[in-house]
Amino acid sequence: MNKILSVLLLACLAIVSGCGKSEPGSSSNAGGSKITIALMPKSKGNAYFISCKKGADKAAKELGVDLVFDGPTDPDPAKQNEIIENWITLGVNAIAVACENREGISTALRKAKAKGIKIITYDADAMTDARDFFVNQATPEGIGFALMDEAARLCGNEGEFAIITASLTAANMIEWQKYIEARRADKYPNMKMVALRPCDDLKDKAQSEATALLSANANLKCIMAICSPAVPGAAEAVKQAGKTGKVKVLGLGLPNENKRYVHDGVTDSVILWNTEDLGYLTIFAANALAKGSLKAGNKTIKAGTLGEFQIEGDSILLGKPFTFNKDNIDKFDF
């Protein structure tokens, strides 16, 4: 009888041990179950975040993780918090979020961390104690300086310009504006910002705001759009006002949304980074964090086909801003 019991016990142990092994090529957490990563944009309909999701989907497929994607229809901090609460209940392994309001979302993220969920922010950061790592598309200084340098170049280092932003509370854009102003004050004192207008991340509203700016500011030389829907919105306003070439348009946007305006001479420059790569890197970082291979103090992280990226403190840096113009914009398709 004892011999039979011993055999049965060994068989049970073998079965339990086998259950802990994941399939080759799959990504699993310490408990052996498949990792679930939840990805949230600022708004689901924004082409910028649709492009990020394309890269995220590619990474999730390569890693063998489950990817949950959800977010507000329009930028809405309260809705982001509600979705975070749902994901806490669902028990996802990692959350990656582009934060609309830095302070507003941090309470919900701290709650998720307390439940053992790993937190990655991308595109726009939360409070540092509310997340583990931030995947930064470029430094705020790099973005702000690039925008101001290009605006000054287009305006001959003098004249009035206006900024169209997504919202007055968007943490990343507030940070960019600080560096835009710092660069202006230091290098271009003859440039003057005359207005800052929010467009709620909507092209039509950006067009309306740009039209109002053109009417109210007869000496306006440049519109700087710092969210992706605002660039084609501002360009359409300038075109319809018959001020192509007289009022310069530049901003942070996607090449495909702006090619027509660039070739028509309405938009001069589009500054950005590869948004698909941003989504791809974000999912690789979230997966590594959930598995325990990404830890505080790491100096680099490998992200599949993109290779290795530098980590500075708790910030994973995608790279430097890139300027698209009529000479190179057709080489890119995103």
Q: Count CB atoms within 10 A of the CB of residue 113.
A: 17
Q: Count CB atoms within 10 A of the CB of residue 76.
A: 18
Q: Count CB atoms within 10 A of the CB of residue 181.
A: 14
Together in a domain, 109 and 231: no
Q: Is 24's pLDDT higher than 50?
A: no
CA dihedral 56, 59, 63, 64 (to 10 degrees): 50
List the structure tokens of 201: 């991340």
The Cα–Cα gap between 285 and 316 comes to 9
Helix (H) or strand (E) holding 134: strand 133-136
Q: Which domain holds residue 159?
A: 140-272
Q: Is 11 within a domain?
A: no
The pLDDT tens digits for 194-224 are 999 999 999 999 999 999 999 999 999 999 9
Closest by CA to 283, choosing from 48, 69, 46, is 69
The pLDDT tens digits for 263-273 are 999 999 999 99
Q: Is 123 within a domain?
A: yes
The pLDDT tens digits for 76-128 are 999 999 999 999 999 999 999 999 999 999 999 999 999 999 999 999 999 99
Q: Is 329 within a domain?
A: no
The pLDDT tens digits for 155-171 are 999 999 999 999 999 98
Q: What is the CATH number of the domain that holds 30?
A: 3.40.50.2300
Together in a domain, 207 and 263: yes
The Cα–Cα gap between 282 and 285 comes to 5
The Cα–Cα gap between 22 and 322 comes to 40
Q: Is 2 within a domain?
A: no
The answer to whether the CB of 98 falls within 8 A of the CB of 121 is: yes
The mean of the pLDDT values for the chain is 91
Number of separate domains in the chain: 2
Look at phi and psi of residue 310 and say left if phi exceeds 0, alpha if psi is from -120 to 50, else beta.
beta
Residues in CB range of 155: below 8 A, 6 or more apart: 161, 191, 221, 222, 248
Q: So what's the pLDDT on residue 58? A: 98
Closest by CA to 217, choosing from 172, 247, 242, is 247
Q: How confident is the model at residue 8 (pLDDT cuts 50, 70, 90)?
A: very low
List the structure tokens of 325: 């113009």
Q: Is 161 within a domain?
A: yes
Together in a domain, 178 and 253: yes
Residue 189 DSSP symbol: T
